[in-house]
Amino acid sequence: MVATGMNDWQIFETRTELDDALAGHLAAALSADLTRQPRSSIALSGGSTPKGMFQRLSAADLEWPRVDITLVDERWVDYGHPDSNAELVRNCLLQGPAASARFLGLKTTTPDITAAVPAVTEALAKLQRPFTAVVLGMGGDGHTASWFPQASNLPELLDPNNAVRVAATDPVTAPHLRMTLTLAAVLDSHRIHLHITGDDKRTVLESAVAAGYPVASILTQTVTPVTIWWAP
């Protein structure tokens, strides 16, 4: 492990080893929190990177009925759409033992994403806080969650003192409007895990602070410890 400020690197030779280790770590953290409180909660990201980790986590020996799972962000598409993060979680994580967990998605039936923000905010407020963990990914443009470089409301999304915990955003450079947790919401966690793979993304991450990428807001904050999980 390499430590830099509040950021620890966990480096693996293969993605399978990473998936196993991260799933095991998250399961242990959720279990530990359940010994201290009635419920535990975790916020997860979509994309192709976490699929294997989700599948391993789904088999963990946990009191899953006491675990709340939500998303860091969601594309404003219906459930069943191939771009839906909720669909990914349902297919890869909410299986086997983990099927009994309580899942709270960020998509509602309201067509207008902005009009849906109050209902999503109210639902998220009922989850156990701080989160046991927040698991983030990262795009090649340095975005994480749905904090895209060209989004007009990026400054508000990245304001750590923002009272708003969930917001609608237009990524501009990617398909679909998004509902996303803000930085303030993500920091309300015992630990943040940044899960990335491949040399290209490692290069982006290592240059993020100097380049001013949105993910730098995670790397430079001093509120919540961060573990970076990487494999080639």
- Asked if 73 and 168 touch (Cβ cutoff 8 Å), the reply is no
pLDDT of residue 6: 77
Mean pLDDT by 10 residues, the chain (232 residues): 68 99 99 98 98 99 99 96 97 98 97 98 98 99 99 99 98 98 99 99 98 98 98 98
Q: Both tokens of residue 218?
A: 């995670």
CA angle 177, 77, 143 (to 5 degrees): 45
Q: Both tokens of residue 204?
A: 């982006």
d(CA 47, CA 114): 23
**φ, ψ of residue 226 in degrees (nearest 5):** -125, 135
Q: Both tokens of residue 24?
A: 């095991």
Instruction: Decide: pTM greater than 0.95.
Output: yes
pLDDT of residue 57: 99
Per-domain boundaries in the chain: 2-231
pLDDT of residue 5: 57
Q: Both tokens of residue 164?
A: 């708003």
Residue 181 DSSP SS3: strand
* Bridge partner list, 102: 68
3-state helix, strand, coil in the chain (%, to 5): 35, 20, 45
pLDDT of residue 3: 40
CATH architecture of the domain with range 2-231: 3-Layer(aba) Sandwich (3.40)
* Bridge partner list, 166: 181
Q: Which residues make Cβ contacts (< 8 Å) with residue 104, sequence separation at least 6?
A: 68, 69, 70, 123, 124, 127
d(CA 170, CA 179): 9
- Asked if 15 and 197 touch (Cβ cutoff 8 Å), the reply is yes
d(CA 116, CA 107): 8
* CA nearest to 40, candidates 133, 165, 145: 133
d(CA 150, CA 143): 10
